[in-house]
Amino acid sequence: IHVQAGVGLALLDSDPEQARTALTTIKGASKEALDEVRQVLANLRTPGDAPTAPAPGLDRLPELVEQAAAAGLTVTVESEGDPAAVPPGAGLAAFRIVQEALTNVVRHSGSRTALVHIAHGSGRVRLRIDDAGPATGDDAGGSGNGLVGMRERAAALGGTIEAGPRPDGGFRVRAELPYTAPDHDRRQDPPEPAEETP
């Protein structure tokens, strides 16, 4: 919401249609955030009640790509395995981690491209989000609350996250999130994402 508000303000006079797109994105994202907060509060007040709407998951990745495009970022997505096997908890965490990583690219990188690689299967989902850099600003790479939030989401599922500069420039976020469902096949690891530069 913060990034899209900045885009909207910057383009309000020079490109009203792009500003309108940013405002539309803000409206949708804020409604979704409020709905999630309401669901959490409702579950706290009345344990056992099911949420009234599904939480976002990796099936909504195209929306993140569109939002990034509205902020001037071109995102390439590569996917391996069966995304339908990802349970809702891991799907929500993965969605939010990708969302935050792309927001960090928009805010802290000179790159206007990013690569999102997702490998599903064998009881876990692996994420890799790369940008080519260069980093901009004192807090380049997202050293604030966004990175903390990503770590907390991964830790809540017993997963791991690594974020930092790449040896060849740019920034990389890697996450591995185990599935919470006990009946998933855990015998074979999903393929390790290839070391590519976007």
In the chain, the amino acid numbered 7 is: V
Overall CATH class of domain 57-198:
alpha beta
Span 1-43, pLDDT tens digits: 777 787 778 888 888 888 888 888 888 888 887 777 776 666 5
Distance CA 139, CA 150 (A): 16
Share of the chain above pLDDT 90, in %: 28
Mean pLDDT to the nearest integer, 47-71: 78
Domain ranges of the chain: 1-53, 57-198
Backbone angles phi, psi at 16, to 5 degrees: -60, -35
pTM above 0.75, yes or no: no
9 CB-near residues (< 8 Å, 6+ apart): 19
Span 97-148, pLDDT tens digits: 999 999 989 888 888 999 999 999 888 999 999 998 887 765 544 445 678 8
State residue 1's pLDDT score. Answer: 78
pLDDT at 46 over 50: yes
State residue 115's pLDDT score. Answer: 96
State residue 185's pLDDT score. Answer: 41
* Contact assessment for residue 198 and residue 130, using Cβ atoms and an 8 Å cutoff: yes
pLDDT at 193 over 70: no
Distance CA 67, CA 85 (A): 25
State residue 33's pLDDT score. Answer: 78
State residue 52's pLDDT score. Answer: 56
The helix/strand/coil state of 110 is coil
pLDDT category of residue 187 using cuts at 50, 70 and 90? very low
State residue 114's pLDDT score. Answer: 95
Length of the chain: 198
In the chain, the amino acid numbered 66 is: E
* Contact assessment for residue 56 and residue 67, using Cβ atoms and an 8 Å cutoff: no
Structure tokens at 107: 């805010």
